[in-house]
Amino acid sequence: MQTVTEAPVVRVGVLGCGTVGAALVHLLVEKPEVMTERTGLRLEVARVAVRNLARERGVAIPDGALTDDLHGVVTDPDVDVIVEVIGGIEPARTLILEALAAGKPVITANKDLVAVAGVELVEAAVAAGVDLLFEASVGGGIPLIRPLRESLAGEQIRRIMGIVNGTTNYVLTRMTEAGASYGDALGEAQALGFAESDPTSDVEGFDAANKAAILASIAFGVKVVTADVYREGISCVTAADIAFATRLGYVIKLLAIAERVGDEVAVRVHPAMIPATHPLASVRESFNAVFIEGEAVGDLMLYGRGAGGGPSASAVLGDLIDASHNLRAGGMGRASALGQAQIRSIDELTSQYYLSIDVEDRPGVLAAVAGAFGDHGVSIRSMEQDPLATEARLIFITHLARESDIQATIAVLRELEVVDRIGSLLRVVGEG
Amino acid sequence: MQTVTEAPVVRVGVLGCGTVGAALVHLLVEKPEVMTERTGLRLEVARVAVRNLARERGVAIPDGALTDDLHGVVTDPDVDVIVEVIGGIEPARTLILEALAAGKPVITANKDLVAVAGVELVEAAVAAGVDLLFEASVGGGIPLIRPLRESLAGEQIRRIMGIVNGTTNYVLTRMTEAGASYGDALGEAQALGFAESDPTSDVEGFDAANKAAILASIAFGVKVVTADVYREGISCVTAADIAFATRLGYVIKLLAIAERVGDEVAVRVHPAMIPATHPLASVRESFNAVFIEGEAVGDLMLYGRGAGGGPSASAVLGDLIDASHNLRAGGMGRASALGQAQIRSIDELTSQYYLSIDVEDRPGVLAAVAGAFGDHGVSIRSMEQDPLATEARLIFITHLARESDIQATIAVLRELEVVDRIGSLLRVVGEG
């Protein structure tokens, strides 16, 4: 066991000191001797760069470390490793590229940036031969990227399904367990600080789409960006859908799904019905989890806190220790170039579908509606009238059908005189 | 992307070709070009050593690789890395020590050996400066050891609770979901091949105790061996206990628990009652999962297949790729020495307890029984007569109490004339 003074020193430059940055600095300065005992390294907080020097950070930043010169930290010869926890695209992107070009390993928790500019950043890391690690960018404190990259390095991954947004999972959990409406559950999440005052990024699936792109890139080793991800949010999900799903033995979750289909990769985010016995169904409240299906390993699930200062700082710290060990051992950066992705459009995917349709209550209606399904080759597994609905509401569950066929069916249904309203379309996944 | 011929070659010597060994060889020889594309390495199956050359292995072993000279593979200068999947203590232990002394990284899936001789093997790896990896020794294909060691390197882990034996989890699942008796559920597990004809190692918790020792060593960085682990099995758990637990909103699981108590480490295996909403409660059939509670990261759970050729071979392959990268990069072995563990005896731990007691059905019995609890400072949270039992059976749940106090209580209860039989003692964990 090494003492604090013998251990190799690594000088850390932290860009940003919000929730995650402050939690990280706290972990680093709190018990340095315990950290050294555990890691064999002396991790020094050399510089902490913030935009507003006056703001209280709630953590004891070492004397002389605080600065408002972000760029200066990156170029400081007395800084060995850069941690980027500013968030947003710029100046984070430019600062990371500068750090990599200067030969400094970079750890980032910035999911927006990695999802949008990950390909560029990885290429810069490969060119510079230094580490670029971003475990905290998906699933907060859950070890996801390292297990995918290292533990499963030889595994042929078929599919990844993740609950990667805590806000929407909290809302759906409250709707399921307390029978709350979407609006009430969202209001409750906002009151508790789980949802922002403008919840669009969460509830419309933009945040989950960023994480889906990152997971797909890592799992399949190819370039996937947010623009490649098909996306639907949860604002269309009604209390009636939830009640019906519960009665049938399903749970509704917002899933980020990345799967290999032949030589192509399909990546999407949408609410889905999963069997109540599926491990993802038991992921409650604001927890996250990623379910991985591999050829040899079978089914895996990794579960934990997807956000928050402590969990994200824990993931950043794991990356920081890893990069520091590699740096002090004189190792090269371990980023590897991503291949080109062939993206399969959602139109070509097949699924089972749940569809609710409000219709006029008169003879011949079912024949007209069922005809629209049949005309597009969509076979119906079950149909029933929703006993909980006040109007005449038909609930269909289909057999496996192509997305383009169900969409064509819906287009025809919309034009039928007997159809008052097309409700939620939910894909059924995780069976068998 | 590298082509197969450009990639650095690593020559693998495999000791043993049972279920896991054959599955590993299959993964390595099946699509070498895909493996090289994914890993940047050419992993060649140089030697496969078995005791019986005549036995059919169900996998295409490369020409000339098969041998019955285990020792010869370890010393062969044309073998770079050793994979040990023979199982058992000897000759596995001697072969691994020889390989490490010869400067060859070793990957092993051998939980019995790691639990018993892990300290010696780790010290040999540290002395030789080569890698010793054993991800497959706990939780089969679930990434556990690498996340604990690397992702959570800076995390202060408070407690680990694992379902680490698939046989007992299958038996308890069948008892819970189908109302089966212990004997019937075990017979079913044996018929399905989930349990061996002599199930002692599984049902009495010996296998789980081995894994608990390994997990505790990794999580806390200290020397814990199987002899340090308090152990109870599931053969005492009755259908009545399960029914009662279900009615109270609990699930009974065999848990391996390792926790930090002050400067000490407590490690134990016993059946426990956990709330039905706890993530471990949804781990069904023969699946395994490990629940980790950390200071910064909060709650994590890692879930998957804890046994079987494919999952275990996947974990071995992840280790093999990792060790091969490190070898080809010229890196030193990354084993680190374990500290001394101060083991806290279970007598000093506190828990809530569930205890069932069959008594004579006459006045004054409850006062006598309750007096025994009170005399030892054990406070009762609830008492009820089991409505499902034919005799007079009292079910007690205590408040937090010391193990030594509840054991002293039981010793007195056994001597009471009004007590016919002391039933199961189950610890209640995972609440709050």
The residues near B128 (Cβ < 8 Å, ≥ 6 apart) are B100, B101, B103, B333
Helices of type H across B179-284: 182-191, 200-203, 206-220, 239-247
Instruction: Please state, in angstroms and rounded to a whole number, the distance separating the CA atoms of residues A199 and A111.
Output: 17
Mutate to test the interface with A, among B155, B278, B284, B324 (most CBs of A within 10 A): B155
Predicted local confidence at residue A432, as pLDDT: 63
- As annotated, the residues of chain A forming the CATH 3.30.360.10 domain(s) are 145-305
What dotted CATH number matches A9-140+310-328?
3.40.50.720
- Tell me what pLDDT residue A165 has: 97
Which segments of B16-167 are extended strands (E)?
A: 42-49, 66-67, 81-84, 106-108, 132-133, 157-163
Q: State residue A39's pLDDT score.
A: 86
pLDDT of residue A1: 44
Judged by CB atoms closer than 8 Å, whether chains meet at A301 and B300 is answered as no
Beta bridge partners of A14: A48, A83
Specify the pTM. 0.94
Share of chain A above pLDDT 70, in %: 98
pLDDT of residue A329: 82
When pLDDT is averaged across residues B280-289 and rounded to a whole number, the result is 96
CA atoms within 13 A of residue B131's CA, in its CB half-sphere: 26
B367, burial (CB in 10 Å: exposed 0-12, middle 13-18, buried 19+): exposed
pLDDT digits 0-9 by tens, B139-153: 999 999 999 999 999
Which pLDDT score is estimated for A388? 67
A277 at interface of B, judged by CB pairs closer than 8 A: yes
Q: Which residues pair with B47 in a beta bridge?
A: B13
**Which residues are CB-contacts of B312 (< 8 A; sequence separation ≥ 6)?**
B19, B20, B23, B109, B136, B140, B141
Mean of pLDDT over chain B: 93
Q: Which class for A77: exposed (0-12), middle (13-18), buried (19 or more C-beta within 10 A)?
A: exposed
Opening angle at CA A284, ends A278 and A287, nearest 5: 110
**B8-35 residue pLDDT tens:** 999 999 999 999 999 999 999 998 888 8
Q: Give the model's pLDDT for residue A185.
A: 97
- Cβ-based contacts of B302 with chain A (< 8 Å): 143, 300-303
- What whole-number distance in Å separates Cα of residue B21 and Cα of residue B34? 20
Tokens found for residue A280: 């993802």
As a whole number, mean pLDDT of residues A170-189 equals: 96
- Cβ neighbours of A331 in B, within 8 Å: 329, 331
Task: Give the Cα separation of B56 and A92 in Å (integer).
Answer: 58
Q: What is the pLDDT averaged over residues B54-61?
A: 88
Residue B300's pLDDT is what? 98
Beta strand A81-84 with A9-15: parallel, antiparallel or unpaired? parallel
User: The tokens of A150 are what?
Assistant: 């290292």
Strand partners, B146: none
What per-residue confidence (pLDDT) applies to B5?
57
**pLDDT score for B194:** 85
CA B284/CA B307 separation, integer angstroms: 14
Residue A191 CB burial class (10 angstroms; 0-12, 13-18, ≥19): exposed
pLDDT number for residue A401: 97
Q: Does A282 touch chain B (CB under 8 A)?
A: yes
State the average pLDDT over residues B173-199: 94
> Where do the H-state alpha helices sit in B59-130?
70-75, 92-101, 111-128
Q: Which two tokens stand for residue A376?
A: 């597009």
Alpha carbons B132 and A279: distance in angstroms, whole number = 32
End-to-end CA distance of chain A: 50
Residues A399-414, mean pLDDT to the nearest whole number? 96
Crossing angle, helix B111-128 and helix B92-101, to 10 degrees? 20
Shortest alpha-carbon distance between residue A318 and chain B (Å): 4
What average pLDDT does range A26-53 have in this prediction?
91
Which chain A positions have a beta carbon within 8 Å of B223's beta carbon?
A: none
CB A38 within 8 A of CB B221: yes
Residue with tokens 């740096």: A327
Looking at beta carbons, which residues of chain B come within 8 Å of A295?
A: 310
> What's the average model confidence in pLDDT over B162-185?
97
pLDDT beyond 70 at B380: yes
- CB-based contacts of A112: which residues, under 8 Å, 6+ apart? A87, A88, A89, A210
Q: What is the average pLDDT across A139-156?
A: 94
Q: Which residue in chain B has the smallest CA separation from A327?
A: B331
Are B27 and B83 spatial neighbours (Cβ–Cβ below 8 Å)? Answer: no
Q: What is the structure's pLDDT at B28?
A: 95
Close Cβ partners of A149 (under 8 Å, ≥ 6 residues apart):
A218
Which chain B residues are Cβ-neighbours of A156 within 8 angstroms? Answer: 34
Give me the residue from A151, A294, A300 closest to B135, CB to CB: A151
CATH T-level fold of B346-428: Alpha-Beta Plaits (3.30.70)
Share of chain A above pLDDT 90, in %: 84
pLDDT band at B385 (very low <50, low <70, confident <90, very high): confident
pLDDT band for position B301 (cuts 50, 70, 90)? very high
Q: Which of A19, A333, A92, A143 has the alpha carbon at shortest distance from B154?
A: A143
Query: Would strands B392-398 and B350-359 be described as parallel, antiparallel, or unpaired?
Result: antiparallel
Confidence check: pLDDT of B431 > 90: no
Count Cβ neighbours within 10 Å for each residue of A27-36 and write b for 16 or more, e otherwise: bbbeeeeebb
Does residue B289 or residue B63 have the better pLDDT? B289
Ordered strands of the A9-15 beta sheet: A66-67, A42-49, A9-15, A81-84, A106-108, A132-133
Specify the CATH superfamily of domain A145-305. Answer: Dihydrodipicolinate Reductase; domain 2 (3.30.360.10)
Q: Which of A301, A324, A334 to mutate to test the interface with B (most CBs of B within 10 A)?
A: A301
Q: Which of residues 308-337 of A touch B (CB under 8 A)?
A: 308, 310-311, 313-315, 317-318, 320-322, 325, 329, 331-332, 334, 336-337
Per-residue pLDDT for B4 more than 60? no
Q: Which residues contact B387 (CB under 8 A, 6 or more apart)?
A: none
CATH class in words for B9-141+310-328: alpha beta
Of the candidates B143, B154, B298, which has its C-beta nearest A39's C-beta? B154
As a CATH number, domain B145-304 is 3.30.360.10
Site of tokens 């170029």: A75
Using the Cα atoms of residue B48, residue B52, residue B53 and residue B59 in order, give the sign of their dihedral: negative
CB contact under 8 A, A314 and B296: yes
Instruction: Give the pLDDT of residue A142.
Output: 97
For residue B83, the Cα-to-chain-centroid distance in whole angstroms is 20
Average pLDDT, rounded, for chain A: 93
| pLDDT reported for residue B389 | 67
Q: Do B318 and A38 touch (CB under 8 A)?
A: no
Determine whether B211 is an active site residue: yes
| Mutation site, B29, B290, B314, interface A, largest A CB count within 10 A | B314
| B205/B128 Cα distance (integer angstroms) | 34
Tens digits of residue pLDDT in B323-343? 999 898 887 777 888 889 999
Over 80: is that where the pLDDT of B390 sits? no
Beta strands in B214-294 (DSSP E): 230-231, 250-261, 264-275, 287-294
DSSP state of A362: S
What does the pLDDT look like over A72-112, one tens digit per residue? 999 999 999 999 999 999 999 999 999 999 999 999 999 99
B411-430 per-position pLDDT tens digit? 999 999 999 999 999 999 98
pLDDT tens-digit readout, B340-354: 999 999 999 999 999
Q: Do B154 and A302 touch (CB under 8 A)?
A: no
pLDDT at residue number B1: 44
Q: How many CB pairs lie under 8 A apart between chains A and B?
A: 181
Predicted confidence band of residue B432 (pLDDT cuts 50, 70, 90): low
Q: Which residue has the higher pLDDT, B389 or A87?
A: A87
Q: How confident is the model at residue A114 (pLDDT cuts 50, 70, 90)?
A: very high
- Report d(CA B266, CA B412) in Å as an integer: 26
pLDDT at A176: 97
Other beta carbons within 10 angstroms of residue A396's beta carbon come to 20
Catalytic entry in B104, B111, B211, B223: B211
Q: What is the mean pLDDT of residues B218-245?
A: 94
How many beta carbons lie within 10 A of that of residue A235, not counting itself? Answer: 17
pLDDT, residue A3, reads 47
